Structure 1
């Protein structure tokens, strides 16, 4: 594509300043065609088409620009017809395609024709979006095999409201896929683990939401940086994820167990909630059950953000075992001291070998307890540093 600015006379805008008329050159139109085409490709389909009205030079750019083709940007009564016309007449390619997930079953023939269009040969983003989540997987159909013809070029994909069978999944490979979401999909555990750990060697972001027939998920990925899960999964195990930075269980169902074996770069973990009775997050020797943390000795080495979900009106107590006064532990507790307005008490359990009056005095100063008290009677907080000997509390200060 030509990188040089197009020659010829540029449109100019005339403005009035202090009684004088001043002509200003159209600098945007001076940009090379390749940059203007990139600008058009970032716009919605409606706004991209409107660029033809800017100046005569923009007309040929629209005809050949890579399109962001989102079904939601087309008039509701004629979106299917317009999509046919655009795919047939447009001279350029489509880099992003967003279609309603229900069309995988309701409009299977039309979907097949759209997907086979040459305009989609180098598709980079595919999104089958949902307007509402189904309650069961009974009516979910297998998608047409043609939706996987973009596997070599896709970088972002959302697959929703369908049933993925084992055989076609086992043959898939997405060498460039960076972001992948499975929403309300019926898929087996083996197939899901194959998708995550084998067929997406460049995968960085993964979202699992309301998927069916999956009891446990095991992740072994050298590239994954972010995992979000909102599904009825009983066990999630991060066996080996050297690049993982964020692990967010957006909805922990009852008795869900999350185990992190190896994730040396993990910085964000959660969320934990008092609502999810019986659910556990295990990170090395650290076990978090509900809002009870047995120990932070392993987790605080890397985790900087611990996401917590709770009722803002809840009167609560935090109990932190095996407290040694490390700076990471001090920072963690100080955050609650200064910011948790509904918090009534904090209890820090200290091993008898580390316990002394000097230790208690120094920790109370480091935790800025007096700063919290200075804010007034409505910010009253009781901080207890207790001595533990053979798991029996024998002192309070």
Structure 2
């Protein structure tokens, strides 16, 4: 027996079904599409997120869209606007002249400059005119770099950034990235002020110590500082109470010194590509992320803990705030890694990068004593990542130590070199050699991922501040 369907009672007491809406009863977009019915402010926000060329093309959609690009905040990215690098500057000038502003972002990398003095003067005058454009008033993001026809490094010593003109943009800038130029040594301290700047990147830049001090002193809320290939700085002092991230990449090109004096909020110290420099951090009570450390570093001193080139760190000092650490060695030197781990008893995530082109090795290595185990292996280390893994005898022995001794580890990730073909037989053999059945942590899971390039040199994602782990 089937139950009778209950009919809905109508207001007049009669039974009936809910009337279906016909197509002609539905609201129809007034301009032929739903997007065009959105308010101008929302459409303007959408247009400002588009690439520059695509944003300008929206003017041809319809009469409704025609004025929107000019009224939307300008997102000017010169990349791919024109293949001719010399003509590109004129196109950018036209855009800045035609768009009334305001501009949200101005990005123009590798601005092509002429070498002859007369032509270079014309280039410089054109570039300086951009910073006086009313369109760039209230600019939030600036990304700019320069290039002579002769190559990258020629720009560093020959083109001087028109900093006095750029000061007009300083009050509203949130992000600034400047590269391949020379900053003037006579920066006027009273007139330089970046009240909102939170992220500053300098790369392939020539700047004096005094000018760098003045520049950083003008950044009152700076949270992230990225330095790459900085020229003409002998000893760089950083003292910014708001700084959370410091990143170096082949920073000082020599044997110079970097001193971080007062950074009470510093959480990340990223030093990829550092070769021969001395880095000293006097006070960093909240430091959580460090690396990649390698024997190539001349000296890194954090509070009382010293890492000095190929000499193992002393065991008398430790940093308990460290959660994530990256180490880079020429091969699987277990004792060298354990010697470093003794300095970080609360470490939760460890990256070990094997780079066969890194010739330097540690000296006076720490000798592991089973009666005096490494503290972080007993109670804190949750994740181990081995990069450029090939499954050789020494690498298996290195990994097996952590399988058998890391008591609370949950993941051991193997980033396998792209020269290794992972198949069922290879995997079975690896699991047998690693003695997975005898693992110290019952929750440990081993994960193998292929395709890791042995030529990879960039191990750090320092640009995205929202990423909790810059080495992942």
TM-score (normalised: structure 1)? 0.73
Which residue is 1:366 aligned to?
Answer: 407
Alpha carbons 1:334, 1:367 under 8 Å: kept: yes
Which residue is 2:206 aligned to?
Answer: 186
Q: Determine the C-alpha separation between the residues in 2 that align with 1:335 and 1:177.
A: 35
User: Per the alignment, do residues 289 and 329 of structure 1 end up closer, same or farther by CA in structure 2, a change over 3 Å counting?
Assistant: farther
Q: Deviations over 1:217-253 (max 9, x none)?
A: 2221121111111212622222221221211112112
- The reply to whether residue 74 of structure 1 matches residue 81 of structure 2 is yes
Alpha carbons 2:101, 2:137 under 8 Å: kept: no
Out of 286, 290, 293, which is 1:272 matched to? 293
Alpha carbons 2:113, 2:146 under 8 Å: kept: no
Out of 105, 116, 128, which is 2:144 matched to? 128
Which residue is 2:166 aligned to?
Answer: 147
More displaced 10-residue stretch of structure 1: 327-336 or 151-160: 327-336
Which residue is 1:61 aligned to?
Answer: 68
- The reply to whether residue 200 of structure 1 matches residue 219 of structure 2 is yes
What number of residue pairs does the alignment pair up?
Answer: 339
Which residue is 2:234 aligned to?
Answer: 215
Q: For 1:270, what is the secondary structure of its paired residue?
A: strand
- The reply to whether residue 235 of structure 1 matches residue 257 of structure 2 is yes
Which residue is 1:86 aligned to?
Answer: 95
In angstroms, what is the RMSD of aligned CA positions? 3.7
- The reply to whether residue 97 of structure 1 matches residue 93 of structure 2 is no
Which residue is 1:249 aligned to?
Answer: 271
Q: Which consecutive residues of structure 2, in runs of 5 or more, have no partner in the other structure?
A: 1-27, 115-119, 346-371, 414-428, 437-472
Q: Determine the C-alpha separation between the residues in 1 that align with 2:264 and 2:164.
A: 33
In the TM superposition, residue 289 of structure 1 has moved relative to its aligned partner by 3.5
Q: Determine the C-alpha separation between the residues in 2 that align with 1:41 and 1:336.
A: 42
Q: For 1:165, what is the secondary structure of its paired residue?
A: coil
User: Per the alignment, do residues 119 and 138 of structure 1 end up closer, same or farther by CA in structure 2, a change over 3 Å counting?
Assistant: closer
Out of 15, 39, 42, which is 2:46 matched to? 39
**Counterpart mapping for 1:255-266 below 5 A:** 256-266=277-287
Q: For 1:122, what is the secondary structure of its paired residue?
A: coil
Which residue is 2:431 aligned to?
Answer: 375
Which residue is 1:352 aligned to?
Answer: none
Alpha carbons 1:272, 1:290 under 8 Å: kept: no
Q: Which consecutive residues of structure 1, in runs of 5 or more, have no partner in the other structure?
A: 1-7, 13-25, 349-362, 381-397
Q: For 1:271, what is the secondary structure of its paired residue?
A: strand
More displaced 10-residue stretch of structure 1: 283-292 or 117-126: 283-292
Alpha carbons 2:332, 2:398 under 8 Å: kept: no
- The reply to whether residue 330 of structure 1 matches residue 378 of structure 2 is yes
In the TM superposition, residue 67 of structure 1 has moved relative to its aligned partner by 0.9
* Larger proportion of strand: 1
In the TM superposition, residue 326 of structure 1 has moved relative to its aligned partner by 7.1
User: Per the alignment, do residues 330 and 53 of structure 1 end up closer, same or farther by CA in structure 2, a change over 3 Å counting?
Assistant: farther
Which residue is 2:176 aligned to?
Answer: 157
User: Per the alignment, do residues 367 and 177 of structure 1 end up closer, same or farther by CA in structure 2, a change over 3 Å counting?
Assistant: closer
Q: Deviations over 1:173-194 (max 9, x none)?
A: 1111111111222211122133
Q: For 1:127, what is the secondary structure of its paired residue?
A: strand
Which residue is 1:117 aligned to?
Answer: 133
In the TM superposition, residue 137 of structure 1 has moved relative to its aligned partner by 4.9
Alpha carbons 2:160, 2:184 under 8 Å: kept: no
Alpha carbons 2:181, 2:206 under 8 Å: kept: yes
Q: Determine the C-alpha separation between the residues in 2 that align with 1:33 and 1:119.
A: 19
Q: For 1:38, what is the secondary structure of its paired residue?
A: helix
